[in-house]
Amino acid sequence: MTTKPEVLSRIEATFSQLTPSEKRVASWMLAHVGQIPFETAESVALATATSGITVGRFLRKLGYRNLDDAQKSRRDPHPPWG
């Protein structure tokens, strides 16, 4: 049984509280789960017609420092220190 990556659970849990721009980022991430490890904040911003600042703000709202932090969470849903 595979578990849903933590980043996706966080997106789904906060979706209704997001701004319209943040919802575009969230929707893109939910639709492109497999691409997340290969993206940068700027490439996500370009794909969602937002800014890198919006992507960063969205990720901080989810509890991540940046996209790299969210990518690490996706790769290892149970870090040894957690």
Residue ranges and CATH numbers for the domains of the chain are 6-75 (1.10.10.10)
- For 34-76, the pLDDT digits (tens) are 898 899 999 999 999 999 999 999 999 999 999 998 888 766 5
Q: Which residue has the tokens 């904040």?
A: 41
If one compares 2 and 17, the residue with the highest pLDDT of the two is: 17
- For 12-23, the pLDDT digits (tens) are 999 999 999 999
If one compares 55 and 33, the residue with the highest pLDDT of the two is: 55
- The pLDDT value recorded for residue 82 is 46
